[in-house]
A and B are shown apart, each in its own frame.
Chain A
Amino acid sequence: MMEISVEDITLRVAGSIVINGVDLKIPDGSVVALFGPNGAGKTTFCKGLLGILKPITGCIRVNGYDITTLPTYKRVEMGFTYVPERAGILERLKIEENLMVGAVRKKARDKLYENLELAYNIFPWLKLRRKEKASVLSGGQRQILSLMRALMNEPEFLILDEPSQGVSFANIKIIYETISSIFVKEKKISVLVTEQLPTYLRDIADRVHLLSAGRIITTISSEQLEDTESIWKLLASSG
């Protein structure tokens, strides 16, 4: 069980404030989306949650405990698992090595080969190509590999940073179906997903926060994402 609470967090990158006083709650087992244009601060927020960036103000709590000062590796040991934008795979490692290196938590290392087989069952091409360098994969395949690397870590809180970026529409569908079936329905873990494509969020998100210029301007339900035009107008007027 993992309930995340972000309170009044402000994050700075290279001297500029990119996230400004953001409050956000991710209840246990829910999927929360951050929707916004390029430069809104989505990736910065993810890095702040993971502890890669240290906040200037505010705090992050997990089940009520303040984890604001915890380093990234300790958050990952707790169950935080990050799928970065453009996948963030290790290109010179083999596909199988990329999967294995994702098992960082102690409980994940204990189930290493079990989870490896699970990943191979979900995407059999990963097994067929396991000895190939990850650099040969396409954008969509890299994203799938990154998602399966996250699976290897027995995640309890998954942070997905724009999983559709640089991926073909056919693969975006596969990626979101995997997120929905494996992580949300089967594992029932908490998920934060950032996006700028509303289409696939509708089927997966419980709540959608609209992020513009480092602030959450409003929160909507996933059904309200149907009205794409007014959402973009709202984001444009607040940016």
Chain B
Amino acid sequence: MMSVARFINIGAGAIMAIGAYTTYLLTSISQLGFLATAGLVFLTSSVIGLVFYLGVNKMGLFDQPEHTIEDLSVILSYGFYLFITGGLSLLFGARYTSVNVKLELPLSLSFIKETELIILIFALLVASVMHLVFISNNNLGLKSKAVIQNIQASIAIGINTKRIFAIVFMLSFGVLGLSGCLYVLLYPINPYFGLYYTVLGFVAAGVSGVGNLLYSFVIASVISILYSFLGLVIPLGVAIAISYVLMLLILVAKPEGLKRGLR
């Protein structure tokens, strides 16, 4: 998503961790149900996204040429990752923590677990919002598509690109925070659990072509399924290493990604 703003985010794992630990805190100190907790996590992560955007914008990042934004964003997001994961380690320790979440689904289905159903509902919800914002032809969708393609041309048309960037940062952080919140339904957490998903996102964006949202989504889904199957026969670390090698081979053959992205 953040590639709309030419921001290559390798700090995604840290935002997931923020979402997961916010869930942990909320469920520890309050009796909130899961839906309210998820809403608050989304809101908190979005606000952090907005603050982060305002900070990097104040530094003049988005006044730079597009390739400079891409280069600097890698350093900035990595710094953010180190800062957040380090901070969370200091606060909560590096050990794995289980989070007890109160689920309150009004219906139960025999063929799917409650947690899986919730994750599926949220995934569909996020996909719908993404479609509305980045793919459909409403006012915001069209502007986002224009900005993804050419920032300078979009400015010349009269699109307020910085408002689009702010929305993108808020949504990206919100969705990543939410995914951290959903993660706690399945696994215990530690501050570094998001690294694997950062790698997954990085490979998906690299292979599909930066700025190609739909293709990135498809590639990420394919890679996730492959990981799941590979995980049965080889260690996860080896599977990640294989995906890196595959990404490098694809990028050597097609530097712009499988489908033409921004470049």
Contacts and interface: CB of A to CB of B under 8 A. Distances in A.
Contact of A73 (B137, B142, B158): B158
A82 interface: yes
Given A72-B158, A81-B158, A97-B137, A88 B153 contact: yes
Describe B's contact surface by its main secondary structure.
Answer: helix
B137 A90 contact: no
A50 to B, nearest CB: 7
Given A100-B142, A101-B142, A93 B156 contact: no
B159 interface: yes
Contact of B158 (A90, A92, A153): A153
Interface string A32-66: 00000000000000000010100000000000000
A167 interface: no
Contacts of B149: 90-93
A22 interface: no
A92 B146 CA distance: 9
A24 interface: no
Interface in A86-114: 88-93, 97, 100-102, 104-105, 109
B160 A73 contact: yes
Contacts of B152: 52
Nearest to A76: B158
B140 to A, nearest CB: 11
A51 B159 CA distance: 13
B245 interface: no
Interface in B142-199: 142-143, 145-146, 149-150, 152-160
B64 interface: no
A76 B160 CA distance: 10
A149 to B, nearest CB: 8
Given A90-B150, A92-B149, A97-B137, A76 B142 contact: no
Contacts of A82: 156-158
B30 interface: no
Nearest to A50: B156
Nearest to A104: B158
Interface residues of A, number: 27
Given A90-B150, A109-B139, A76 B157 contact: yes
Which of A52, A77, A88 has most chain B Cβ within 10 Å?
A88
Q: How many B residues are at the interface, by size bracket?
A: 10 to 19
A197 to B, nearest CB: 22
A84 interface: yes
Contacts of B154: 90
Contacts of B137: 97, 100
Contacts of A77: 158
Contact of B157 (A71, A91, A92, A102): A102
Which of B150, B158, B160 has most chain A Cβ within 10 Å?
B158
B153 A84 contact: yes
Contacts of A100: 137, 142
Contacts of B155: 52, 72-73
Contacts of A89: 153
B156 A84 contact: yes
A116 B143 CA distance: 17
A149 B153 CA distance: 13
A104 B145 contact: no
Nearest to B146: A101
Nearest to A90: B149
A149 B157 CA distance: 9
Contacts of A50: 156
A91 B137 CA distance: 16
A12 to B, nearest CB: 15
Interface of A: 50, 52, 71-73, 75-77, 80-82, 84, 88-93, 97, 100-102, 104-105, 109, 149, 153
18 contacts: A50-B156, A52-B152, A52-B156, A71-B160, A73-B158, A81-B158, A89-B153, A90-B149, A90-B153, A91-B149, A92-B149, A97-B137, A97-B145, A101-B146, A102-B157, A104-B157, A109-B139, A149-B157
Interface of B: 137, 139, 142-143, 145-146, 149-150, 152-160
Given A73-B160, A90-B153, 17 more contacts: A52-B152, A52-B155, A72-B155, A72-B156, A84-B156, A89-B153, A90-B149, A93-B145, A93-B146, A97-B142, A100-B142, A101-B142, A101-B157, A101-B159, A104-B157, A104-B158, A105-B158
